[in-house]
Structures are given as C-alpha cells and as structure tokens.
Amino acid sequence: MKYGRTFNFSAGPAMMPEPVLEEIRDEMMNYRGSGMCVMEMSHRSKVYQQIIDDAEKDLRDLMGIPDNYKVLFIQGGATLQFSMIPMNLMKNGKAVYIETGAWSKKAIAEAKKVGDVIVAASSKDKNYTYIPDCSDLDIPEDTDYVYICENETIHGSTWHTLPNTKGHVLVSDQSSMFLSRPCNVSDYGLIYAGVQKNVGPAGMVVVIIREDLIRDDLTDLPIYLQYKTHADNGSMYNTPNCWAIYCCGKVFKYLKNLGGLEAMAKINEDKAKVFYDFLDSSKMFKGTVVAKDRSLMNVPFVTDSAELDAEVVAATKAAGYDNLKGHKSVGGLRASIYNAMPKEGVEALVNFLKDFEAKHNK
C-alpha cells in the first residue's frame, strides 16, 4: 500500500480511508486559510461552527435522519452510554435487554445499577455464537425500552432482522457496524455508536435520539449525563472532542461521495463474502458464528487447536497483517473488516491463509 501502510484488522480503533487522512495531513498547519489547525480552534468560532454543522448535516443526509431526531456528539465512549441510557430513558425503572455477547453484557451490568433489567433473550448457552429469536418476546407493558447491541464486536454476530419490540422504544448500540449499511432510523428511539471502529478517532460517541425521549425533569443528574444538556447546546455545552467531529465529518463526506450507505453495504457484502466463502471451504479454519447471524464487520474464526491458532496469528503478524488475534474471551482469530478495509486487504489475507493451510497439509 501507499506510504508503506499495512492492512490493519484491528477491532477498533481501526483503519480510516486514506484520502481522508491525506486531507487531514494537508490541513494540519493551516485549515483552509483560517491560520490555525483544527485542534487550535475555539469551538465557539465561526470556522469551527461550520465544521460541526457540516458534520451533522452530512450524517443526516447519509442516514436519512428524520427532523424529529437529534444528533449528539458525546465523550466517554459506549461505556458512558451504558449508564446514560438507563439514567435518561428509564421512566418506569424497567428495561428489556437482549444478551448477545460481551458488549450487551456490559450494558446490562450498568443498567442494573439504575433499575430493573429483564434479560428477555440470550445466546449465552452457545457462547454467543448466534442471535436469539426475538420475534415474539414477553415484554412487560411498562418497559421503558428494549436494548440490543446490533453487532457484537468480540463475538462476531449481527442483527440482520431487528427484534419485535411490540411497540416499545428500541435502543441500539451500533458501534461496530455504524454506517456499514442503510439504517431506517425511524425504527429506533435511540441509536449510538463509538466512532473509533467504523468512522474516526476514539473519544466520541454519536447519539441519535428521538426528541420526545429527551427529558427535562432530570435536573438532579450530573449535567454532563443529561441528553438534554447536549441536545440544547448543539453538543457544545462544554468543549466537545472537536478533532473527532472534524475527522468523522470528513468520513461522512467521503461516504456520501462513494454513493452513500447503499454503496458501502454492497462493498461490505462483497468483502465479507470473500472471507466467509473461504472459511466455508477451508478444512483448517472455520467461522464461529452461525451463518445467518454472521457479522459483515467482525469475523471470528478458529482452527481445531489453540496452539495452531497461535501459530497462525504469529504468521499473519510476521507477514504484515496486523491485529488478528481473537479476543481472549473467544480465542482463535478475528479479522475486523470495517468500511475502510479495502477488498484487496481481505483478498490478500485470505490468500495468505489459503497458502498457510496448503503448506500445513503438505
């Protein structure tokens, strides 16, 4: 690759589009005649206001976000959202969570500190290798919301069909699949995503929230933890992660120019197919998730022994393919192939694994 860059299969932070990085580099010493770097700009200045306005507008265009949804840029990662969501949305003190892996588990643990959590379905019985059937859940009438992690980064499963919430508000953690495919925002009450997987640099979450869910009766909460604080102040009650907003804005524009989320989804499907076709035909490697629930973003796979897994990880690393070790809770390997991973990266890795398998079988 250009500049001696490697194919980086990290689960996040992860690859960003090269043209976006080039633009950022070129604007470093003096952003478009402003006389300063974006990192040096007052967030109250006109030049910065334009940057954040453009970022929001481009994201709205990309996702087709309806006018009755607010877009918020908040610090603290998904981890802080695990708490902010129940603190802000639990009116009746009750929520339904679906447990599909490490990230929904963490969300459940934090929500339990705030109110009653009903785990209405779980795939724990098979180490989170599938998405449970959620077409007819038992959801109490006074449930405040139904929560899912739409793509489990560690376990590699994704929701290809949303759960039937029976009219309740759907809350979704889209961190590891944000902007990877079209999204009908109206199906959700709240969508959030840490941007460091599929968009830009770590340190920011995008929250898309239906306006009627923003409460003004929560003045006893820490001011930073009220969605209202961020909504009423255009995400600038206090200084936001200005740099992340700038970089993500560029990625939003890049995706629009690429043809939007339909085009991105097609590219992602193509890329993932290369990988899964290989896994399905390999005798040495196999995917860990049931076919119908496989993530297009995170592909966990294993050989039949932990020793051989480790050997493969070492070999890929030596060959310049970065970050393929599986998460310790799953073992094996994991290739994260987010939006910015080129198809050639996936093809190169698959060819390497094919060669490895052929040599091993000699």
Site for its own copies in 119-178 (CB under 8 A): none
**103, 105, 271, 293: which is the annotated catalytic residue?**
103
Q: Is 310 exposed, middle or buried (0-12, 13-18, 19+ CB in 10 A)?
A: middle
3-42 footprint of its own copies as x/- string (CB under 8 A): xxxx-x-xxxxxxx-x--xx-xx--xxx--xxxxx-xxxx
Q: Which residues contact 5 (CB under 8 A, 6 or more apart)?
A: 18
Interaction of residue 337 with its own copies, rule CB under 8 A: no
- Please name every residue paired with 294 in a beta bridge, in sequence order, or none if there are none: 157
Q: Return d(Cα 25, Cα 36) in angstroms, integer.
A: 13
Interaction of residue 344 with its own copies, rule CB under 8 A: no
Catalytic residue flag (residue 173): yes
Catalytic residue flag (residue 103): yes
Catalytic residue flag (residue 138): no
Asked whether the beta carbons of 261 and 181 are under 8 A apart, the reply is yes
Interaction of residue 116 with its own copies, rule CB under 8 A: no
Supply the minimum distance, in Å, between the C-beta of residue 336 and its own copies. Answer: 9
Whole-angstrom distance between the N-terminal and C-terminal Cα of the chain?
31
Q: Which residues contact 249 (CB under 8 A, 6 or more apart)?
A: 51, 52, 54, 55, 58
Dihedral, 96, 98, 102, 106 alpha carbons, nearest 10: 0
Question: Which residue in 131, 191, 204, 349 binds its own copies (CB under 8 A)?
Answer: 204
Question: Which residue in 64, 69, 77, 290 binds its own copies (CB under 8 A)?
Answer: 77
Piece of the chain touching its own copies by CB under 8 A; list 54-62, 88-96, 140-148, 222-230: 222-230
Residue 343 backbone dihedrals phi, psi, to 5 degrees: -55, -35
Q: Which residues lie near its own copies (CB under 8 A)?
A: 2-6, 8, 10-16, 18, 21-22, 24-25, 28-30, 33-37, 39-43, 45, 75-80, 82-83, 87, 109-110, 113, 194, 196, 200-204, 220-225, 237-244, 247, 320, 322-323
